[in-house]
Structures are given as C-alpha cells and as structure tokens.
Structure 1
C-alpha cells in the first residue's frame, strides 16, 4: 500500500500541473518518491514539496532545466549561489537589451516626419593614424571601441597634435555582406611611426551629405536611413565607404546618450 501523494494530489500541493510533473519525471528533474511497478502510478512524498517550490521559482525565472538540475544536485551553498547568480546576471543583460530596444522604438515613433537636417560638405584628404581591419558586423562595435581607445592612447603617449575629430570609414560590404573593411582614424600633424596595428594613413577626401546623430549607436541606423533616402531621392549617391566623425565619443562621455556623431554619405556634386 502506498502512503505518498498521487500525482494529482501532489499537483495541487505544488502548483505544478500533472503534465509538467510527468515531464519533470521524464527529464529526471523531479523524480517521484515511488512508482508502482504494476500500474505505473507515481507517488510523491511531502518532503518533495520544498524541492518543487524551488523548481517553480527557478523555472519562473526561465532557468533552463539542465541548470535547475545542477542547482538541485549540488550540496555546496556557494556553488549553488554562483549558479543562480550567473543566471540572474544573464536575465539582467537580457532585460537591459530589451529596455534598450524599447527606448529605440520609442525614439523612432517620436521622431519628426522631416527626419535629420542634412548639409553638403567637401572634406579633403588628411594625414592620420589609423587602425584598419576586415571585421564581422556583429563584432564591429567592440572593435570600434577598442580602436578608439588604442588610437587615443597612442596619440597621447607620442604627444601628437590632433588636427580634427576621430572618425571612421566603413565599407558597404560591412552592411551588405555582414563582413567588410573598417578604418578608425585620428587626424594628426606630423609623422607617426607604425606600431602594432596602428599605421600612418591618408584619409581620402570626399563629397558628403552629412547629418548629425545624437545618442547611442543602437539608433544610428535612423540617421543613416535619412541620409540614404535623401541621396536616393535626389539621385546623388555614389559608391564609397560610409564615414563617421566622432564629436563626442565614449572617450568624452560615459553616458552614450551624450554621444554626438556626424554621419557622412558619399555623394556626387557638380562644380557648376
């Protein structure tokens, strides 16, 4: 005779459905205290109620079953807390990403219909120090931040005089094929001997349509969209790398909402 709780009774006590309890048995997350070999009926003990309550809370936090099993299997409090803390950190990262996406969507909905103010600009070739590399699109932001810091540190250590804001050139393939050449540069006066991945470069001149982007890079596609739409509508767009000038970058402001970036779209301008 069985003295434990039937699966239905344990379901009511634990607030886990019968279907869920059967699944947890199948994946060996919460195994019944006893299973009748003749009927296959499952029986749970009252001592399993606290375990079920822990499982409910961890699964409500979207912890994967394998991780929940690891938490329940360890008897070391420190290890158990580390597993839970690691999952909470992942949840916080996802929450931050979701919050960023919400803010980006709100900014899009609140944008004026007229879009960005656009001006024409002629930029001339200028000597600079730069870091050039073929990068994957998913890595470009971290690569960009590292390149900014490296160029800044190099120029400061060498006492180079800056002749303009830091900037970047990005090949169309970076967007079209998700991999392409990127160059981050710092205009300087004087010769700079190449060291490591830092090289002396000449940033080519160009005719540009320019718009100013305020805020984080997550929303810079809106400014690019305004420029690309304008260039296509006026039939003045030409092939060439997209260009950015960092008037206020992570080197100047820790709050990304204070960043200011000029975005340049290559165009054709007649001399007439």
Structure 2
C-alpha cells in the first residue's frame, strides 16, 4: 500500500499550495486518495506526486485546467501527445506575437523614422470575388486568413485566375467599436458564380490617398497614423471604408519582413494624378 501524506505534507512535496490542491479537488483535476468523512481532511498517496508535478508544469506553461484534465484522461498516448503538441504550438504562436510586439515597441521608442510617402490614386471599379461579414476585431485575423484561403481555393476550382493582389474593405465601426463589416476580395477576370460565402462584388471606383507599409502588419497602425495625419492636414477626408491591398502577404511568403501592404484612405477628388 502506498504511503499517505496529509494535505500539508503533500503541498510541501509538490510545491502546490493547499488552496490550489483544494481547487484541483473541487474541479476534479487531482482528487485526494481519501477524504475524512467527519473532518473533510484530505489525504494523498505518494503515487500521486508525479501527477501533481506534471500538473504544475502544465500550469507553468499556462495550459488551462480543462485542457490538463483532457490530457490526464486521454485514452491513449497519441491523443495525449496531440493535445500537448497543440498547446505548445499555441505557446509558440503567442511567443512569436510577443516578440513581434516587443520589436515594434523598441523601434517606436527609438524615435521617429522617415515616413513612407503618401500618393494619390484613382482606383477604377473592379470585379472581384469577395467574402463579407460583420466580425469582432479580436476575431479578425483568423477570419481574414480563412476567407482569403477560401477565395483562392474557389477561384482555382472555377478555373479562373486572380488579376491583381487581394484586398480588403473595412468599415469605420471595426476600428471605433471593435466590431464592424469587413470584406476580403480578390480581383477576377470575370464575374464568379456565388458559392458558399464567396460572392461576386464590384469594388467601386474611388479617389484614394495611399501609403505602402513594408513588413509585418503588427505595426500597421504606424502607416495608418501617417496616412490619417496627411489626410487631415490636407482636409481631404471622405467617409467610407478604408481599403487595404496585400501586394505581398502571408499567402505569398511566411517571411513577414517581405510583406507589403497598401493602406488607402478615401479622399475628395483633387484632379491630381500623382
């Protein structure tokens, strides 16, 4: 029979506080070997120490309790390893996002850099295949990636081809209220038949102030800031969705240093072709 430990001794053995052990018992993650019916005092066995150590390390890696519960109760090694691998992949993605944010902040604190030039462009009406929805800002990136992949797959399946870079139309509410209408589109040579979320859309003609942002979209706000300052100072602003064109993006290369994004602000027609 394995040796038993009172909850205090088990706490010292595992470096898990008594409060934490009580919580793990309450949620069914680590159940004591015995609970005194009269006093409610918890007893653990030495055999439970390795399980407690594994739980502690998973929590050090920010794995949610319900995920740990699933790992510990996985029916086989394959399922267990898959769950762990998925969490590690999420950690790596979070780390990459943190590193990108740190690099962007260091660059910002280093002082202003030469701003990219702002130009004017008169965009003509363009036939596209598009996906449109109302999306929360926090869900935008996975929605965008899924929509863009669906567009390219549908265009290819139809035997059609893209005639220009993908783009997006984003209503002001997406920025001001963190929820608004977003459209991702790919220009096509002809009208595409509606299929699932993909539908034909004529992106209207517009006069635009344009700035090109090189690199990751993590600091795309800097391009937005420069563009907004230009439009405001020249008193050119028009209401309407912001446009983005993905000249080189994640669909072309995983190296975000090579990405090129145009941000386009609708403006009054000036008659200039610069």
TM-score (norm 1): 0.75
Residues 38 and 128 (structure 1 numbering): CA distance in 2 closer, same or farther, change over 3 Å?
A: closer
Match of 1:145?
A: 148
Q: Which runs of 5+ in 1 are unaligned?
A: none
Asked if 1:199 is matched to 2:200, the reply is: yes
CA RMSD of aligned residues (A): 3.5
Report if aligned partners of 1:151, 1:185 keep a CA contact under 8 Å in 2. Answer: no
Q: How is 1:71-110 mapped onto 2 (pairs within 5 angstroms)?
A: 71-74=71-74, 76-110=76-110
Summarize deviations over 1:160-217 as a string: whole Å, max 9, x none.
8x5x6554443334434522253625375xxx244234537364141x3221111233
Report if aligned partners of 2:144, 2:184 keep a CA contact under 8 Å in 1. Answer: no
Asked if 1:25 is matched to 2:25, the reply is: yes
1: CA distance, partners of 2:243 / 2:94? 31
Q: Give 3-state SS (helix, strand or coil) of 1:229's partner.
A: helix
CA shift for structure 1 position 151: 8.1
Report if aligned partners of 1:32, 1:42 keep a CA contact under 8 Å in 2. Answer: yes
TM-score (norm 2): 0.75
The number of equivalent residue pairs is 262
2: CA distance, partners of 1:39 / 1:171? 61
2: CA distance, partners of 1:266 / 1:29? 55
CA shift for structure 1 position 250: 4.0
Report if aligned partners of 1:4, 1:46 keep a CA contact under 8 Å in 2. Answer: yes
Question: After the TM superposition, which of the residue ranges 145-154 and 41-50 deviates more from structure 2?
Answer: 145-154
Match of 2:187?
A: 186
Asked if 1:48 is matched to 2:48, the reply is: yes
CA shift for structure 1 position 225: 1.5
Q: Which runs of 5+ in 2 are unaligned?
A: none
